[in-house]
C-alpha cells in the first residue's frame, strides 16, 4: 500500500474492496477483475468522447514520433501554436490570446495574477485594485490562490492563514435561497447586494471570478437565466474584470462549447482545462482579451513582463491531443448530437424528482446534481456524517455505475459520447441505488 489518494480518507479506503481500473472503452471502465462500469463522472469531469477514442490515440502516437516536450520559455512548437489559434476561434468573441498552464487550479492562478498586474500597469486613477469578489460555495481549485477565491469550508477552512482575503457574495442557490425568495418572481434580487459591493469597493477590486451557469463542486448549483449576463454588465459598469472559470463547464458539458455562450457573454479572462484534451493529458489555458494582453507589452526595462510559467507549459503531447479533441467535435458534430441526449436525460430524471428523499434535481446540459434530503417538505439535509451520498455511490458501483458524490449531492457527468440507452441505464441504476439506501434509514 503506497498510494495516497486525493479527497479520500485513507483509513476507510484501505478497509474497502479496492477498484483498480485497468482499461477503458467508450463510456465504460474495466477493472483488473474484468468488471465493467459505466463512467458516470467522466473520470472526474475530463473525458468527453469516450475512453480509447481512435483519433485521440492516434494524435498522441504521431506526436510521440516527433517530440514529447520542449519548453515554451522563449521557444514554441507547432501543436501549441495551432491549438491557440483553434481555441481563439471557438471561444467567446473577443478572447484573442492564450496562456498555457497545467490544470484548472493553475489556469485560475494565472488569471488572478494577470488581473492584479493588469491594473498595476494601468493609470493610477483605477485605484489599488488587488482584491477579488467570489461567490459563496465557490470552488476554483486547490492551490493557494485558487483556494483564496474558493469558499467551501470543508476544503478550505484549515488553510485560511495561507490565503489572501476576498469579498464574498451569496451564490444563486435557488433551492436554499439566502433571501428566502423564489425564482422567477424574485426578479434576480440576489444581484442587488452584488451591485452594492461593486459600487462601493470597485477601486479595490481587480476581478470577479465565477463559474458560469453551474457551480460544479458546490453540488451542481445552477444559476437562473440572465444571472451571468447581469454580472457581466455590472463588471463592465464598475471597471472590474470578469474571470470565467470554465474548467468544469467548458467543452460541451452545458450543451454549448462554453457556458458563457448561453448568454452571449465574453469574460475578460477565461480559465479552461479538464475537457481540453478530451480526458487524455493534463493541460490548461487562460484566455484573455486583446486589451489585457496589450497592457503587458513594453520595453524589457519597464518590467511589464508576466513573470509566470510552468515546466510543462504548452506541452506538445497535450496540445496535439487537444487539437484532435477539437477535431472530433467537428467531425462527429458532438454539440449538435448532444441536444437529444440532454432532453432524454431530463426525461429520465423527471420521475426521480418524486422520490421522497430527493430534494432537488439540477441539470444543465449533461451536468446533473441530485440533492438528497432527509425531509423533502422541510428541505432538511442528512448529516454529512451519515455519508448518504457515499453509500448511494457504493451501491451504484456494485450495480455497475461509477459515481463520486459531493456530500449529499449525487453528481452525474457522463462522457458526451454516452448513448441515450446508456443514459437511461445510468438513471435506472442511480434510482435503484437511492431507493435501496434511503429505505433503510
All domains of the chain, ordered by start, with CATH? 10-52+333-438 (3.90.1150.10), 58-331 (3.40.640.10)
CB-count exposure of residue 414 (10 Å: 0-12, 13-18, 19+): buried
Average pLDDT over residues 64-91: 97
Q: Is the peptide bond before 156 cis (omega within 30 degrees of 0)?
A: no
pLDDT of residue 125: 67
Nearest CA among 317, 322, 326 for reference residue 61: 317
Average pLDDT over residues 235-257: 98
Classified as helix, coil or strand, 323 is helix
Average pLDDT over residues 202-212: 97
Tens digits of residue pLDDT in 246-255: 999 999 999 9
Average pLDDT over residues 9-33: 94
How far apart are alpha carbons 289 and 113 in whole angstroms?
A: 15
When the pLDDT of each residue in the chain is averaged and rounded to a whole number, the result is 96
How far apart are alpha carbons 88 and 287 in whole angstroms?
A: 8
Tens digits of residue pLDDT in 412-426: 999 999 999 999 999
Q: Are the beta carbons of 231 and 266 closer than 8 angstroms? A: no
How far apart are alpha carbons 69 and 391 in whole angstroms?
A: 42
Is the pLDDT at 362 greater than 70? The verdict is: yes
Residue 159 φ then ψ, to 5°: -100, 5
Tens digits of residue pLDDT in 320-360: 999 999 999 999 999 999 999 999 999 999 999 999 999 99
Long-range contacts of 421-425 (CB under 8 A, 24+ apart): 422/27, 422/38, 423/341, 423/344, 423/345, 423/348, 424/344, 424/348, 425/38, 425/401
Q: Are the beta carbons of 131 and 238 closer than 8 angstroms? A: no
How far apart are alpha carbons 414 and 366 in whole angstroms?
A: 7
- Strands (DSSP E) contained in 277-316 are 284-289
Q: How big is the CA angle at 19 (ends 15 and 24), to the nearest 5 degrees?
A: 170
CB-count exposure of residue 387 (10 Å: 0-12, 13-18, 19+): middle
Helix axis angle for 420-438 and 388-399, nearest 10°, is 130
Q: Give the whole-number percent of the chain exceeding pLDDT 70.
A: 99
DSSP for 104-161?
Answer: HHHHHHHHHHHHHHHHHTS-GGG----EEEEETT----SSHHHHHT---HHHHGGGGG
How far apart are alpha carbons 112 and 296 in whole angstroms?
A: 15
Confidence of residue 219 (pLDDT cuts 50, 70, 90): very high
Is the pLDDT at 389 greater than 80? The verdict is: yes
Average pLDDT over residues 39-68: 98
Q: Are the beta carbons of 230 and 204 closer than 8 angstroms? A: no
Is the pLDDT at 28 greater than 90? The verdict is: yes
Residue 140 φ then ψ, to 5°: -130, 10
Nearest CA among 110, 5, 64 for reference residue 281: 64
Give Cβ neighbours of residue 367 (< 8 Å, ≥ 6 apart): 214, 216, 220, 248, 249, 253, 254, 413
Is the pLDDT at 124 greater than 70? The verdict is: no
How far apart are alpha carbons 251 and 225 in whole angstroms?
A: 20
Amino acid at each position: 500500500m503506497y498510494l495516497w489518494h486525493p479527497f479520500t480518507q485513507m483509513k476507510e479506503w484501505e478497509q474497502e474492496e479496492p477498484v483498480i481500473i485497468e482499461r477503458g472503452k467508450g463510456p465504460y471502465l474495466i477493472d483488473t477483475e474484468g468488471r465493467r462500469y459505466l463512467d458516470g463522472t467522466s473520470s472526474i469531469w475530463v473525458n468527453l468522447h469516450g475512453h480509447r477514442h481512435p483519433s485521440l490515440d492516434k494524435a498522441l502516437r504521431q506526436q510521440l514520433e516527433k517530440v514529447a516536450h520542449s519548453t515554451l520559455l522563449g521557444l514554441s512548437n507547432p501543436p501549441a501554436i495551432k491549438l491557440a489559434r483553434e481555441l481563439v476561434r471557438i471561444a467567446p468573441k473577443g478572447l484573442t490570446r492564450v496562456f498555457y498552464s497545467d490544470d484548472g487550479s493553475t489556469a485560475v492562478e494565472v488569471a488572478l495574477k494577470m488581473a492584479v498586474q493588469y491594473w498595476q500597469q494601468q493609470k493610477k486613477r483605477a485605484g489599488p485594485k488587488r482584491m477579488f469578489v467570489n461567490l459563496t460555495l465557490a470552488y476554483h481549485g486547490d492551490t493557494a490562490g485558487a483556494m483564496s477565491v474558493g469558499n467551501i469550508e470543508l476544503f478550505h477552512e484549515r488553510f485560511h492563514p495561507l490565503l489572501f482575503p476576498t469579498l464574498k457574495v451569496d451564490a444563486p442557490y435557488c433551492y436554499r435561497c439566502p433571501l428566502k425568495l423564489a425564482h422567477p418572481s424574485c426578479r434576480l434580487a440576489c444581484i442587488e447586494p452584488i451591485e452594492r459591493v461593486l459600487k462601493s469597493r470597485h477601486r479595490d477590486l481587480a476581478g470577479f471570478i465565477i463559474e458560469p451557469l453551474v457551480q460544479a463542486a458546490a453540488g451542481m448549483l445552477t444559476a437562473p437565466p440572465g444571472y451571468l449576463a447581469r454580472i457581466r454588465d455590472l463588471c463592465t459598469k464598475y471597471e472590474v474584470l470578469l474571470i470565467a472559470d470554465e474548467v468544469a463547464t467548458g467543452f460541451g458539458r452545458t450543451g454549448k462549447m462554453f457556458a458563457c455562450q448561453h448568454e452571449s457573454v465574453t469574460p475578460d479572462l477565461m480559465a479552461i482545462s479538464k475537457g481540453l484534451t478530451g480526458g487524455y493529458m493534463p493541460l490548461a489555458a487562460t484566455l484573455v482579451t486583446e486589451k489585457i494582453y496589450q497592457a503587458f507589452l513594453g520595453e524589457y526595462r519597464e518590467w511589464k513582463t508576466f513573470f509566470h510559467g510552468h515546466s510543462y507549459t504548452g506541452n506538445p503531447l497535450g496540445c496535439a491531443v487537444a487539437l484532435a479533441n477539437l477535431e472530433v467535435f467537428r467531425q462527429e458534430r458532438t454539440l449538435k448530437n448532444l441536444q437529444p441526449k440532454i432532453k432524454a436525460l431530463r426525461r429520465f430524471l423527471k420521475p426521480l424528482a418524486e422520490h421522497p428523499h430527493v430534494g432537488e434535481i439540477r441539470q444543465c446540459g449533461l451536468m446533473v446534481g441530485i440533492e438528497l434530503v432527509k425531509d423533502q417538505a422541510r428541505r432538511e439535509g442528512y448529516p454529512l456524517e451519515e455519508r448518504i451520498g457515499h453509500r448511494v455511490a457504493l451501491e451504484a458501483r456494485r450495480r455497475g455505475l461509477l459515481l463520486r458524490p459531493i456530500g449529499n449531492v449525487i453528481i452525474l457527468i457522463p462522457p458526451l459520447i454516452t448513448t441515450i440507452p446508456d443514459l437511461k441505464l445510468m438513471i435506472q441504476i442511480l434510482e435503484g441505488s437511492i431507493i435501496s439506501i434511503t429505505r433503510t434509514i
